[in-house]
Amino acid sequence: MFGLGAVAFALGGTARAAAPEAAVPPPGYDEGQALLGQKRYGEAVDKLRPVTAARPDFAAGWYALALAARRAGNCTEAIPAYRRYAALRATEGEPYFGLGLCLRDTGDRPAAITAFKRFLELEHRAGQEKWIETAKGAIAALEAPPPPGGAAAAFEEAQHLRDSGKIEAALKRFADAVRLDPDLIVARAAWGELLLKVHRENDAVPVFRGAVERNPQYPLAWYDLAFALRETTQYSDAIEAYRHYIALRPNDPDPHYGMGRALMLSKRDELARASFETYVAMEKRPAEQRWVASAKKAIASIDAKGRHDTGVTAVVAPAPTPAPPPPTPTVVAPAPPKVSAPPALPPLPAQAGGSTQPPPMAP
Contacts (Cβ under 8 Å, ≥6 apart) of 58: 21, 22, 25, 26, 29, 51, 52, 356
Least confident of 9-13, 173-177, 331-335: 9-13
Q: Return the pLDDT at 253.
A: 93
SS3 for 350?
coil
H-type alpha helices, 89-144: 94-105, 109-122, 129-143
pLDDT of residue 128: 81
| Mean predicted confidence (pLDDT) in 43-52 | 93
Burial 231-253 (b: 16+ CB within 10 A, else e): beebbebbbbbbebbbebbeebb
Contacts of 111 (CB under 8 A, 6+ apart): 103
pLDDT at 356: 41
Tell me the Ramachandran region of residue 234: left when phi exceeds 0, alpha when psi lies from -120 to 50, beta otherwise.
beta
User: What backbone torsions phi and psi does residue 212 show, to the nearest 5 degrees?
Assistant: -75, -25
Q: Please name which of 170, 205, 217, 279 lies closest in space to residue 72, comparing C-alpha atoms.
A: 217
Topology of the domain comprising 29-145: 1.25.40
Quote the mean pLDDT of the chain.
79
With cut-offs at 50, 70 and 90, classify the pLDDT of residue 23: low
What is the model's pLDDT at position 215? 87
Distances (CA, A) of 49 to 92, 132, 325: 22, 30, 30
Task: Please report, rounded to a whole number, the percentage of residues in the chain having pLDDT higher than 90.
Answer: 49
Averaged pLDDT for residues 37-57 = 91
Determine which helix (DSSP H) or strand (DSSP E) holds 219, and give its type and residue range: helix 219-231
Q: pLDDT at position 82, please? A: 96
What is the DSSP secondary-structure string of 97-109? HHHHHHHHHTT-H
161 in Cβ contact with 174 (< 8 Å): no
What pTM did the predictor assign?
0.48
CA distance 320 to 159: 39
Q: What are the tens digits of pLDDT across the range 161-218?
A: 998 999 999 999 999 898 888 888 889 999 999 999 999 998 899 899 988 888 888 8
Distance of CA 183 to the CA centre of its chain: 16
| Stretch 246-271: mean pLDDT | 94
The 3-state DSSP class for residue 296 equals: helix
Predicted pLDDT at 179: 86
| Least confident span in 145-149, 218-222, 265-269, 279-283 | 145-149
Interval 86-90 mean pLDDT: 94
Q: What is the pLDDT of residues 120-177, one digit of tens each?
A: 999 988 878 888 998 998 898 788 775 567 888 899 899 999 989 999 999 999 998 9
pLDDT digits (tens, 9 = 90+) for 336-346: 333 333 333 33
Amino acid in position 312: V
Task: Kindly report which listed range (6-20, 94-108, 282-296, 326-340) carries the lowest average pLDDT score.
Answer: 6-20
Confidence (pLDDT) at 319:
41
Distance between CA atoms of 126 and 288, rounded to whole angstroms? 53
